[in-house]
Chains A and B, each alone.
Chain A
């Protein structure tokens, strides 16, 4: 059998060099980021601080797929770290002119990028870019196909921790289109690494991966049973195209079966929180009364996203500096 290559997201000191996926990372690697994120909030005001950690670094947000929320929070995070920020919407530029993906990347690298924050429609795209960047350049996966969205999962863990204390011992339900969701994959990995007591996924078979046991989750097709006694409910966005491939009859039927209403939420623990990576479809996967209700932490997730993304970038650049230091001493 062939040996797999060394984990490409780690450097020679086994520390994060890129963040491509949470799979294979250790608990302390996740908590380091979450702990650091907390320090970016001003304890007096609760506002996010501006820090000079990445002064002189150039970060390019390269989005091959449109995004508003993720790209904006990355941009704010980068500016709070005092980095120089460049935004590129490649869906409408270079590759349309026939330039290969790698040529695009290498050109941007030649312009002096220190980090690429990349979103791409293909699973594995972040691994692909990481394999081909120069040694000093870092790749942060901002969503690749159905594979991973690690910064989203980390901000979700941060939010859970903030509201529920330790993730250990929690029961978490993720509801909706697990099959096509990079967010769900990364959340499941993060929850497993942090030792959540039980991870449930709720939805019809047409929106589930074929081997859920490989992900370490329990599958429920019945929403009421799935929500029984959980501490956290994570709703996923339902894409319109799921109706065309005969995966679902209608949004209406989906909402009737899996939409989160106050009545359904009553099945969960009384202090359960409700999360959603956004953007939400009111009346499709979540009722407005729940989305805007007292147990919803959806907008808090957005704010936390900035701090967590700051922490991810700070950790990656600090690891690089440590490695450089060690190489100089050697």
Chain B
């Protein structure tokens, strides 16, 4: 199967090229970028005038609900949502049920992903057995079973010695660690950022220090042990500063931010709406500004969806009791490109944070349109205006706080390994 896409604005973050030309695909690979080889006879040609073509997004944090104990979603349902959002590769954190601490779990996830055939799904190993933070999980076996990294998901290791040992062991087997910085003692029973809004609403609060002290601990231990660490879902201004300093000192640390943290803040909690409950919590507007600045200056490497599909019932509870999380796969791109519209990021910076940087830190092929790359990309109509409706999301989780938000620009076709895996419903007929 040979595919030719003509007249698209080709945006390649791997080379920073931005040209309007043709892209040629043969089988599952890109074979030509820009100029069509004389001997290339396409089976199908698409005129993409007015559309942008970008490499498929790489999302470092996507929960699918599978395997799960009556959890919302499956690998297949969330891979469909991913395709609709332009995401062609995603990592699955180990807080599945059962936990990804035996090879059976990543094997199951990868099998389901192959059956779905819509995206590369990369399981992340549990760093400790049962994510309990006490005994190491079999990291080497899990790596052989296809785990791309190891993590504690939302359940950080409490004991610093255990954490240090886990880092040393991971470093000896070259296992990358993806860790969410959180001191659970400081977070206590908190459900919202410790700021004026939580003070007024009487919501048990999580101070910024619950994250910043954990960032400092992780950076110092990584420096001492030589472990490769990636920090997930930063939410505080001081965390960004700590990582900036560590990078300036030459530490090989990377980090990401969840797209919703770039647009929402503690101010959104005023009605106790559980759809705005996330972990880490929505912070202050100053934190939000610092996160955006950290992206612009390269301190923050990647933007994630931190996708967590939940049933409606999981949110039909008073705020403190409701489950944290946002169904974010289908808003990741639009929320990020808003920062391009507002001039805070360049288009290339945004695309790097969404595809090239995460692919590079995982050591996989991705974020490139150059010949030889995997043919995983999407077409985007920059002029399409649309309004987000939760019930129109393809994800099994309709838990989005962005109901009614208006976006300009939308994915109009996604290809995974040369195969068209998504086109909007309106074009089906």
* Contact status of A125 and B318, CB under 8 A, knowing A2-B268, A2-B405, A210-B207: yes
Task: Please tell me if B43 contacts chain A, counting CB pairs below 8 Å.
Answer: no
Task: Please tell me if B408 contacts chain A, counting CB pairs below 8 Å.
Answer: no
The range of chain A's interface size is: 20 to 34
CA–CA, A210 and B198, complex, Å: 9
Name the residue of chain B whose CB is nearest to the CB of A129. Answer: B318
CA–CA, A212 and B199, complex, Å: 8
Name the residue of chain A whose CB is nearest to the CB of B188. Answer: A245
Task: Please tell me if B26 contacts chain A, counting CB pairs below 8 Å.
Answer: no
Q: Is the CB of B318 within 8 A of A128?
A: yes
Chain B neighbourhood of A215, CB < 8 A: 199-200
Task: Please tell me if A47 contacts chain B, counting CB pairs below 8 Å.
Answer: no
Task: Please tell me if B319 contacts chain A, counting CB pairs below 8 Å.
Answer: yes
Chain B neighbourhood of A237, CB < 8 A: none
Name the residue of chain B whose CB is nearest to the CB of A5. Answer: B271
Task: Please tell me if B409 contacts chain A, counting CB pairs below 8 Å.
Answer: no
Name the residue of chain A whose CB is nearest to the CB of B200. Answer: A214
CA–CA, A274 and B420, complex, Å: 74
Q: Is the CB of A123 within 8 A of B204?
A: yes
Q: Is the CB of A214 within 8 A of B202?
A: no
Chain B neighbourhood of A148, CB < 8 A: 202
* Contact status of A100 and B319, CB under 8 A, knowing A4-B270, A182-B202: no
Interface residues of A in 115-152 (CB under 8 A from B): 120, 122-125, 127-128, 132, 144-148
Q: Looking at the complex, which one of A1, A2, A5, A145 makes contact with B320 (CB distance below 8 Å)?
A: A145
Q: Looking at the complex, which one of B200, B313, B317 makes contact with A128 (CB distance below 8 Å)?
A: B317
Interface residues of B in 238-277 (CB under 8 A from A): 267-268, 270-272
Chain A neighbourhood of B207, CB < 8 A: 210
Name the residue of chain B whose CB is nearest to the CB of A189. Answer: B200
Q: Looking at the complex, which one of A101, A123, A144, A146 makes contact with B317 (CB distance below 8 Å)?
A: A101
Chain A neighbourhood of B313, CB < 8 A: 100
Task: Please tell me if A86 contacts chain B, counting CB pairs below 8 Å.
Answer: no
CA–CA, A5 and B404, complex, Å: 12
Q: Is the CB of A123 within 8 A of B270?
A: no
- Would you give the shortest CB distance from A140 to chain B, in whole angstroms? 16
Task: Please tell me if B194 contacts chain A, counting CB pairs below 8 Å.
Answer: yes
Chain A neighbourhood of B401, CB < 8 A: 2
* Contact status of A128 and B272, CB under 8 A, knowing A23-B200, A185-B200: yes
Q: Could you mark each residue 311-324 of chain B with 1 if its beta carbon is under 8 Å from any beta carbon of chain A, else 0?
A: 00100111111000
Chain A neighbourhood of B271, CB < 8 A: 4-5, 8, 127
Interface residues of B in 82-99 (CB under 8 A from A): none
Task: Please tell me if A293 contacts chain B, counting CB pairs below 8 Å.
Answer: no
Chain B neighbourhood of A128, CB < 8 A: 272, 317-319
Q: Is the CB of A122 within 8 A of B319?
A: yes
Q: How many A-B Cβ pairs are below 8 Å?
A: 78
CA–CA, A215 and B319, complex, Å: 21
Q: Looking at the complex, which one of A2, A5, A124 makes contact with B203 (CB distance below 8 Å)?
A: A124
- Would you give the shortest CB distance from A91 to chain B, in whole angstroms? 15
Task: Please tell me if A102 contacts chain B, counting CB pairs below 8 Å.
Answer: yes
Chain B neighbourhood of A210, CB < 8 A: 194-195, 199, 205, 207
CA–CA, A316 and B26, complex, Å: 71
Task: Please tell me if A278 contacts chain B, counting CB pairs below 8 Å.
Answer: no
Q: Is the CB of A147 within 8 A of B203?
A: yes
- Would you give the shortest CB distance from B187 to chain A, in whole angstroms? 14
Task: Please tell me if A209 contacts chain B, counting CB pairs below 8 Å.
Answer: yes
Task: Please tell me if B298 contacts chain A, counting CB pairs below 8 Å.
Answer: no
Task: Please tell me if A211 contacts chain B, counting CB pairs below 8 Å.
Answer: yes
Q: Looking at the complex, which one of A120, A124, A209 makes contact with B272 (CB distance below 8 Å)?
A: A124
Q: Is the CB of B272 within 8 A of A127?
A: yes
Q: Is the CB of A124 within 8 A of B199?
A: no
CA–CA, A124 and B275, complex, Å: 13
CA–CA, A214 and B195, complex, Å: 9
Chain B neighbourhood of A185, CB < 8 A: 200, 202
Interface residues of A in 182-214 (CB under 8 A from B): 182, 185, 209-214
Q: Looking at the complex, which one of B196, B268, B319, B405 makes contact with A124 (CB distance below 8 Å)?
A: B319
* Contact status of A146 and B319, CB under 8 A, knowing A4-B271, A214-B196: no
Chain B neighbourhood of A214, CB < 8 A: 195-197, 199-200
* Contact status of A147 and B316, CB under 8 A, knowing A2-B268, A128-B272, A210-B195: no
Q: A23, A144, A209: which has the most chain B beta carbons within 10 Å?
A: A209
Chain A neighbourhood of B316, CB < 8 A: 100, 102, 132
* Contact status of A123 and B319, CB under 8 A, knowing A4-B270, A5-B271: yes
Interface residues of B in 266-306 (CB under 8 A from A): 267-268, 270-272
Q: B202, B205, B207, B272: which has the most chain A beta carbons within 10 Å?
A: B202
Task: Please tell me if B160 contacts chain A, counting CB pairs below 8 Å.
Answer: no
CA–CA, A120 and B201, complex, Å: 14
Q: Is the CB of B195 within 8 A of A123?
A: no
- Would you give the shortest CB distance from B183 to chain A, in whole angstroms? 15
* Contact status of A120 and B318, CB under 8 A, knowing A4-B270, A8-B271: yes
Name the residue of chain A whose CB is nearest to the CB of B192. Answer: A123
CA–CA, A218 and B303, complex, Å: 41
- Would you give the shortest CB distance from B322 to chain A, in whole angstroms? 9
Chain B neighbourhood of A123, CB < 8 A: 201-204, 272, 318-320
Q: Could you mark each residue 93-115 of chain B with 1 if its beta carbon is under 8 Å from any beta carbon of chain A, else 0?
A: 00000000000000000000000
Q: Is the CB of A101 within 8 A of B196?
A: no
Interface residues of B in 174-211 (CB under 8 A from A): 194-197, 199-205, 207
- Would you give the shortest CB distance from A248 to chain B, in whole angstroms? 16
CA–CA, A124 and B198, complex, Å: 11
Name the residue of chain A whose CB is nearest to the CB of B208. Answer: A210
Chain B neighbourhood of A209, CB < 8 A: 199
- Would you give the shortest CB distance from A134 to chain B, in whole angstroms? 16
Chain B neighbourhood of A144, CB < 8 A: 202, 318
Interface residues of B in 387-429 (CB under 8 A from A): 401, 404-405
- Would you give the shortest CB distance from B238 to chain A, in whole angstroms? 15
Tell me the B residues contacting A by CB distance below 8 Å: 194-197, 199-205, 207, 267-268, 270-272, 313, 316-321, 401, 404-405
Closest 3 CB pairs of A and B: A214-B196, A146-B202, A124-B272
Given contacts A125-B318, A147-B201, A182-B202, 15 further A-B contacts (CB under 8 A): A2-B268, A100-B313, A101-B317, A123-B319, A124-B272, A124-B318, A128-B317, A144-B318, A146-B203, A185-B200, A185-B202, A210-B205, A214-B195, A214-B197, A215-B200
Could you give 24 example pairs across A and B, Cβ below 8 Å? A2-B268, A4-B270, A4-B271, A23-B200, A120-B318, A122-B318, A122-B319, A122-B321, A123-B320, A124-B203, A124-B318, A125-B318, A128-B319, A144-B318, A146-B204, A147-B201, A182-B202, A185-B202, A211-B195, A213-B196, A214-B196, A214-B199, A215-B199, A215-B200
